[in-house]
Amino acid sequence: MYRRGLMRFQPTQFLFPSLLLLICLSTELHAQTSTSGGLTGVVTDLSHSVALGADVEIRNTAKGMTQS
C-alpha cells in the first residue's frame, strides 16, 4: 500500500529518457561507408570479342572524380 499523495516507482517511466540520454551522449557513430572497393569485368567490342589492351575510364559523377 502507499499513502495518498505519494507516487509509486515505475521502472518503465525512466526507460525512454534513459535511452534518449544514451543516444545523445554517443560520441562515435558509424555510417555504412567504404573507402576502398574493386571493379572487375571484361571489355568487349560490338561483335562481343574481347578487346585486348582497351583503355577504361571510371567516372563518379556524384563526386566529380575520374580514374583511368
DSSP string covering 35-50:
S--------B-TTS-B
Cell of 52: 585486348
**Each residue's pLDDT tens digit in the chain (68 positions)?**
555 656 666 677 788 888 888 888 777 766 666 667 778 889 999 998 999 988 888 888 888 888 88
Q: Check residue 36 and give its pLDDT.
A: 74
Q: Check residue 17 and give its pLDDT.
A: 84
For the chain, domain boundaries: 43-68
Q: Check residue 29 and give its pLDDT.
A: 65
**Which of left, alpha, beta for 22 (phi over 0: left; psi -120 to 50: alpha)?**
alpha
Q: Check residue 33 and give its pLDDT.
A: 67
